[in-house]
Amino acid sequence: MPAAPRERAPIGFLALAGLAAAFFVLPLVGLVVRTPWASALADLSAPAVIDALRLSMITSLGATAISVVLGVPLAWVYARVEFPGKLVLRALTTLPMVLPPVVGGIALLVAFGRRGVFGEPLFDLFGLRLPFSTAGVIVAETFVAMPFLVLTVEAALRSMDRRYEDAARTLGASRVRVFRTVTLPLVGPAIGAGMVLCWARALGEFGATITFAGNFRGETQTLPLAAYLALEQNVDTAVLLGLTLLGISLVVLVALRDRYLRAV
Amino acid sequence: MRGVGTILLAVQVAACGGAAPLGPAAPAAAGRPLSGTVTVLAAASLTDAFNVLGTEFTRVNPQVTVKASYAASSALVAQIVQGAEADVFASADEPSMRRLVDARLSESSPRIIASNKLQIAVGAGNPKKISALADLARPDVVVVLGAPTVPVGAYATQVFDKAGVRVAPKSHEADVKAVVSKVSLGEADAGIVYGTDVRAGGAKVQGVDIPDQHNVIARYPIAAVKGSKNAKAAAAFIDFVASPRGLDVIAGFGFLRP
């Protein structure tokens, strides 16, 4: 990246920017200051914490995988295909980004719950039930997180130079081959960035998860749920769990910053 | 974080621990009308009763605004200890109130305003034919409970211990209302909740009684929070809640009298 030309910022502007930065940094400082470092290791290796950490990893990675498999094609359709009702459909599928997650969880319950509109036939026919299961956690996280990936990839598909695809087509490559050998590599960084955003959102998911999937250790109790319930019993544990989530997310975001997030 | 005020107020609460024999929502006896906002943090199971109490109180003290917020008592006391602004705390269990007292954040000694028995909440029509606690151990019955850290979850554990029943719940919900909603949506076949929550749950849930020898009586203490900016109004609100009229309102929602 070429170095940005130095600019003299107006003082007032700098002050506001500093205030904005402080607004995000101060709560994190609070967490670090209040962390009971002395008992940190013991608290973090408690079986309930290990279970929550393991479950959070499984479900957030699962949600990210599903989001890639389903979300990249959806982004491609949004970027390349015109059809009636596209605007509305696109709005509907990005709604979870602004919807309160608890509302998302209620919607999932009435749709896919055991007595849900679609959940009841699924349960009667296949005995499949999502609430109170790890699969339900993955569904809730996917619901809330996939839009981040779809929007990121769609933006990249729209802004890429389509002449490469056209050239490949005129040279006789099939649509599938063009997608695989030209389109995918070009939007690869955006897919990576979308995956990171999607994973980070899934990892932090709370409202939809506790509403739709419930809360049970080892089955549906992810780190955010464990942190919330720990707050009622032991603030130290809650702070520590919060810091753990923070640490994981920060490491990943910083590590991937240069590789992927630039594409956003 | 808010620095917890240390202003000691000379509000003497008569008849601690019981219902004070005060007139219904008597407007400030000293003549000057009460004003300002009273922030009440109350147990989720008190939601409906306290909404009515708040309305009645402001009718008599029109310059006072009652702001009530409902959640699991354990969550509320954690918020207060962490510095949340609150004038009055009404808990669904005594351990949560004890945490407030232990943190030296109670202005007055707690008074019991209601008690509540536990019931088994089941779906309308009782589709799984649940008639006793032992039915909750059946493998075909999906049970959800409050988390063990939440009063209703701790009570449920006591009930099962007394009855000698071992239950494998599918979920530990964050508060009693969440247990009721899982049952009323049909996701769970049964849950242990307060009798009042079954009443409040409407047509989609019904209750199955738990015999007295296995039941737990939940007692609801209320206290003013130390450092309140509106201690006079807070004390008046508590007096009103503990007055015969206040206790009638609470009992009207199915609570047992203290």
Q: Mind telling me how many Å the CA of B5 is from chain A's nearest CA? A: 21
Tokens 């607004």: give the residue.
Answer: A23
Q: Mind telling me how many Å the CA of A213 is from chain B's nearest CA? A: 8
Query: Looking at the complex, does the CB of residue A215 fall below 8 Å from at least one CB of chain B?
Result: yes
Please tell me the distance from the alpha carbon of residue B245 to that of residue A226, in angstroms, as a whole number: 41
Instruction: Name which residue leads in pLDDT, B16 or A185.
Output: A185
Range B195-222 average pLDDT: 92
3-state DSSP assignment of residue B98: helix
> Is residue A27 scored above 70 in pLDDT?
yes
Among the partner residues A132, A210, A232, nearest to B75 by beta-carbon distance: A232
Q: What's the complex ipTM?
A: 0.75
The conformation of residue A85, written as its DSSP 8-state character, comes to T
B213 and B235 belong to one structural domain: no
Is residue B13 situated within a structural domain? no
- pLDDT of B20 reads 39
Range B166-184 average pLDDT: 92
Range B138-148 average pLDDT: 94
Tokens 């997650």: give the residue.
Answer: A101
Nearest CA in chain A to B186: A115
- pLDDT of A231 reads 75
Q: Which two tokens stand for residue A102?
A: 């608890």
B74 and B197 belong to one structural domain: no
- pLDDT of B72 reads 87
Cβ within 8 Å of B, A 132-161 = 132
Q: In this prediction, what percent of chain B has a pLDDT beyond 70?
A: 88
> Is residue A264 scored above 50 in pLDDT?
no
Reported as a single tens digit per residue, the pLDDT across B23-51 is 444 444 456 788 889 999 999 889 999 99
Instruction: Name which residue leads in pLDDT, A122 or A151.
Output: A151
pLDDT bin (cut points 50, 70, 90) of residue B8 is very low
Dihedral (C-alpha) A17, A252, A222, A199: value to the nearest 10 degrees? 90
Is residue B23 situated within a structural domain? no
> Is residue A147 scored above 60 in pLDDT?
yes
Among the partner residues A115, A232, A235, nearest to B149 by beta-carbon distance: A232
Buried/exposed code over A119-136 (b: 16+ C-beta within 10 A; e: otherwise)? beebbeeeeebbbbbbbb
pLDDT bin (cut points 50, 70, 90) of residue A3 is low
Is residue A7 situated within a structural domain? no
Is residue A19 situated within a structural domain? yes
Q: Mind telling me how many Å the CA of B173 is from chain A's nearest CA? A: 6
Residue A248 sits at the vertex; the CA angle it makes with A242 and A249, to the nearest 5 degrees, is: 90
Backbone angles phi, psi at B222, to 5 degrees: -130, 145
Is residue A29 situated within a structural domain? yes
B125 and B194 belong to one structural domain: yes
Q: Show the DSSP H helices in B25-165 as ranges.
A: 47-60, 73-81, 94-102, 151-163
Please tell me the distance from the alpha carbon of residue A207 to that of residue A104, in angstroms, as a whole number: 8
Question: How many Cβ pairs within 8 Å bridge chains A and B?
Answer: 61
Among the partner residues A110, A131, A216, nearest to B172 by beta-carbon distance: A216
pLDDT bin (cut points 50, 70, 90) of residue A5 is low
Reported as a single tens digit per residue, the pLDDT across B176-197 is 889 999 999 899 999 999 998 8
Domains held by chain B: number: 2
- pLDDT of A118 reads 92
Q: Which two tokens stand for residue A55?
A: 């479950």
Check the CA dihedral B65-B67-B68-B73 and report its sign.
Answer: negative
Is residue A188 situated within a structural domain? yes
B120 and B198 belong to one structural domain: yes
Please tell me the distance from the alpha carbon of residue B46 to that of residue B222, in angstroms, as a whole number: 11
Reported as a single tens digit per residue, the pLDDT across A190-219 is 999 899 989 999 999 999 999 999 999 999
Among the partner residues B75, B174, B185, nearest to A215 by beta-carbon distance: B174
B121 and B212 belong to one structural domain: yes
B79 and B109 belong to one structural domain: yes
B108 and B233 belong to one structural domain: yes
> Which residues are CB-contacts of B167 (< 8 A; sequence separation ≥ 6)?
B136, B137, B143, B145, B160
Is residue A2 situated within a structural domain? no
Nearest CA in chain B to A216: B171
Q: Range of B147's domain? A: 116-217
CB B115 within 8 A of CB B255: yes
Reported as a single tens digit per residue, the pLDDT across B66-108 is 999 999 898 899 899 888 889 999 999 999 999 999 999 998 8
Q: Which of A65-74, A159-168, B11-20, B27-36 has the lowest mean pLDDT?
A: B11-20
Tokens 């929502």: give the residue.
Answer: B25
Instruction: Name which residue leads in pLDDT, A22 or B228.
Output: A22
- pLDDT of B5 reads 34
Q: Across all residues in chain A, what is the average pLDDT? A: 88
- pLDDT of A45 reads 83
Domains held by chain A: number: 1
B123 and B201 belong to one structural domain: yes
- pLDDT of A42 reads 81
Q: Which two tokens stand for residue B221?
A: 């203490």
Is residue B77 situated within a structural domain? yes
Please tell me the distance from the alpha carbon of residue A169 to that of residue A152, in angstroms, as a whole number: 25
> Is residue A249 scored above 90 in pLDDT?
no
Is residue B10 situated within a structural domain? no
Instruction: Name which residue leads in pLDDT, A151 or A256.
Output: A151
Instruction: Name which residue leads in pLDDT, B244 or A40.
Output: B244
> Which residues are CB-contacts of B141 (< 8 A; sequence separation ≥ 6)?
B128, B130, B135, B189, B190
Q: Given an 8 Å threshold on Cβ–Cβ distance, is A216 in contact with B174? A: no
> Is residue B215 scored above 90 in pLDDT?
yes
> Is residue A6 scored above 70 in pLDDT?
no
- CATH number for the domain including A58? 1.10.3720.10
- pLDDT of B9 reads 32
Reported as a single tens digit per residue, the pLDDT across A39-50 is 888 878 888 889
Range B241-249 average pLDDT: 95
Q: Which two tokens stand for residue B6?
A: 């240390």
Query: Looking at the complex, does the CB of residue A123 fall below 8 Å from at least one CB of chain B?
Result: no
Range A71-78 average pLDDT: 95
Q: Across all residues in chain B, what is the average pLDDT? A: 86
- CATH number for the domain including B167? 3.40.190.10
Q: Mind telling me how many Å the CA of A178 is from chain B's nearest CA? A: 47
Q: Range of A25's domain? A: 14-263
